[in-house]
Chain A
Amino acid sequence: MPDNEMSPNRFELLYGMLLDAIPSSVLLVDEKLHIVSVNRNFLLKSQRGETRTVGRPLAEVFPTIILENTDIERRIREVFRTGTSVKGQRMTYRAPGVPIRIYYYSILPIPTNQVMLLMEDVTEQVRLSEEVRRVERHLASVVESASDIVLSTDTEGRILTWNSAAEKLSGLSAHEVRGQYFFQFCGSNQQQTVRKVFMLMKSGNESHTTEFPLVTSNGDSILVSWVFSPMKDDYGQTVGAVVVGRDLAERRKLENQLRQSQKLAALGVMAGGIAHEIRNPLAVCYSAAEFLLMDNISTEFRNECSRKIQAGIQKASAIIENLLRFARPSPDTEMVQVDLNTVITDTLDLITNQARVQQIRIQLELEQRPVLVLGVSGLLQQVFMNIFLNGINAMPEGGLLSIVEEISEAEVAVRISDTGMGIQESDLDKIFDPFHTTSPIGKGTGLGLSICYSIVQQHLGSIHVQSSPGQGATLTVRLPLL
């Protein structure tokens, strides 16, 4: 008979087996709060035997402290009274000799006038989520405590987070900027560049370093050095960007002082050429004036002398004006549109004298059209001045200094080559280091190229050197075109 296969005995067995297979603790409790049955999982976790558990009151099985803290007896009575279950309550249970465990428990009414107490061990999950939260809190406090601006954006450049340094420096709260495009807080000149950087980060892995002002809440701007890094997920997909910014006010002040003193040192190197160039017109003027003091000279000769004096004075004062312009500290203004050709020819005017006294020919190949870049012309002039002077100093026996400009799609490359002694291979990777010099004492400070490097970097460009001993050297300065 099929019914025999499912005799009450077999039901009980199956019921017991199912209950024991459940990886949670299950207790059935009657209205008197006595335990009717428990599964194996509960006995294991509570370190109790079945005989000491089944038929006993709940108060005997659970430690008093748990009963008090969870108020579980009242909750069970409530379930009996209302017939509605209690779900997802937390309980910390410590059986003797077993480390503390954390449970989520539910009390579910069942039609046999009993309730089922279902206890799930969530110790591990709780530990993990607490760990995650701890790490998150730690990271958040790292970001919050940083004195640098740290912000994150989505791939389009919309701000997601904005730390307290960012709030303090910009005067804008995280709440105000969240969801806004980051470029909106950059100077109008930089917005296009910043958008381009975000575009590049979508597909690339590289960080981008640049400097530009951040517009503050009161409309002022502060100069900040920025590093943009793409944020990748586990699959290498860009999911956003991290932007770190450092207030440059203090550093810029020191840098300006350093650049200025280096510039004056460069002027020292040019002193010979300058002296030669100024003393020539002075000598002509002197002679002409002396002729004018003579009696019985013709009107024609008198006029000629006067013209020579005027021309000489004009020549000398043009040289002095060039020097003054170069020696004057570059105003720390915003970057503006600059014609690189003008920068290069103005700089060449200053060093032609020095080149001449060293029998150095200069070959110049510039683009016909103006080459427009975003920059500070005084700083760019210092870059070329240093490179030209380095080339000249490398050719004490004379030679050729060639300056060739090449335009490609997005950038201009200026190649400055000399025919001098070249650079030792061991020195090649040091030449942009501050205070690295192969010049004799008094001839060079070792700062020139390191300053070039920092200025070019500030202009979002790059500078490279190529050389072998005896073969001269070529320095290439690359700058993004406007």
Chain B
Amino acid sequence: MNGPILVVDDEPDMCWAMECILRSQGFDVVTVDNGEEACNQLANRDFFFVFMDAKLPDMDGMDVIRHAHAKRPGTVRVVLVSGYHYHDDPVIRQAIEENLICGFLAKPFTHSDLLKALPTS
């Protein structure tokens, strides 16, 4: 699948960090800081991958993902990035089982954690 990577986080410095890591590996990156803008982006173009913050000022990250799946079923691959949840959080486990997200990354993370979350193809 083609297209840039979408980074959604309301904290500008978080976007800065993820953008730097991904760009250093040659990825094209788009960053947005709210749920509505994320929904728009996801509805209107293809993204290779999405890093989604769980808590956005206007929406829950998980709701943005649901919205995207409904609009373009089977095209959105997302890892949830959050300081709010933990690895074996029931909410996370359920989201993975439901194929809403393909993984979870807890803040803070190492650069290799972030890169490992990306699909190989």
* Chain A contact residues, CB within 8 Å of chain B: 272, 275-288, 290-291, 308, 311-312, 356-357, 359
Say whether A288 contacts B17, CB under 8 Å. Answer: yes
Report chain A residues within 8 Å CB of B59.
Answer: 359
A279 touches B11 (CB 8 A): no
- Which residues from chain B contact A272 at a C-beta distance below 8 Å? 84
Of A277, A278, A280, A356, which one neighbours B14 at CB under 8 angstroms? A280
Give CA–CA (A384, B27) in the complex, Å.
47
A275 contact set on B, CB distance < 8 A: 83-84
Instruction: Judge whether B43 is part of the interface by a CB distance below 8 angstroms.
Output: no
Pair A290/B60 contact, Cβ less than 8 Å = no
Q: Are B107 and A282 in contact (CB under 8 A)?
A: yes
Find out whether the CB atom of B57 lies under 8 angstroms from the CB atom of A283. Answer: no
Decide if A287 touches B84 in the complex (CB within 8 Å): no
Say whether B57 contacts A279, CB under 8 Å.
no
Q: List 29 A-B contacts (CB under 8 A).
A: A275-B83, A278-B83, A280-B14, A282-B108, A283-B17, A283-B107, A283-B108, A283-B109, A284-B11, A284-B13, A284-B17, A284-B108, A286-B108, A286-B109, A286-B110, A287-B108, A288-B17, A290-B110, A290-B111, A291-B20, A308-B17, A312-B13, A357-B55, A357-B84, A359-B56, A359-B57, A359-B58, A359-B59, A359-B60
Contact (A287, B83) CB under 8 Å given A356-B57, A359-B58, A359-B59: no
Residues of B with C-beta under 8 A to A308: 13, 16-17
Check B31 for interface membership: any CB of A closer than 8 A: no
Q: Which A residues are in CB contact (< 8 Å) with B84?
A: 272, 275-276, 279, 357
B116–chain A nearest beta-carbon distance, Å:
14
In the complex, the answer to whether B83 meets A280 with C-beta atoms within 8 Å is yes
Whether A287 lies near B17 (C-beta < 8 A) is: yes
- Taken residue by residue from 3 to 24, chain B's Cβ proximity to chain A (1 for < 8 Å, 0 otherwise) reads as 0000000110110111011000
Looking at B82, B84, B106, which has the most chain A CB atoms within 10 Å of its CB?
B84
Contacts of B56 in A (CB 8 A): 359
Measured in the bound complex, the distance between the Cα atoms of B21 and A283 in whole Å is 13
Q: Are A311 and B57 in contact (CB under 8 A)?
A: no
Q: Which of B13, B21, B82, B107 contacts A311 (CB 8 A)?
A: B13
Query: From residue 65 to 121 of chain B, which have CB atoms closer than 8 A to chain A?
Result: 82-84, 106-111
Q: Which residues of A contact B13 (CB under 8 A)?
A: 280-281, 284, 308, 311-312
Contacts of A311 in B (CB 8 A): 13
Q: A279-B106, A284-B17, A287-B20 are in contact. List 13 more A-B contacts (CB 8 A).
A: A276-B55, A279-B108, A280-B13, A280-B14, A281-B13, A283-B83, A283-B108, A284-B13, A311-B13, A356-B10, A359-B56, A359-B57, A359-B58
Are B14 and A284 in contact (CB-based, < 8 A)?
yes
Nearest CB of B to A81, in Å: 112
Q: Which A-chain residue is minimally distant from B112 (CB atoms)?
A: A290
Residues of B within 8 Å of A359, CB to CB, are: 55-60
Judge whether A279 and B17 touch: CB under 8 Å: no
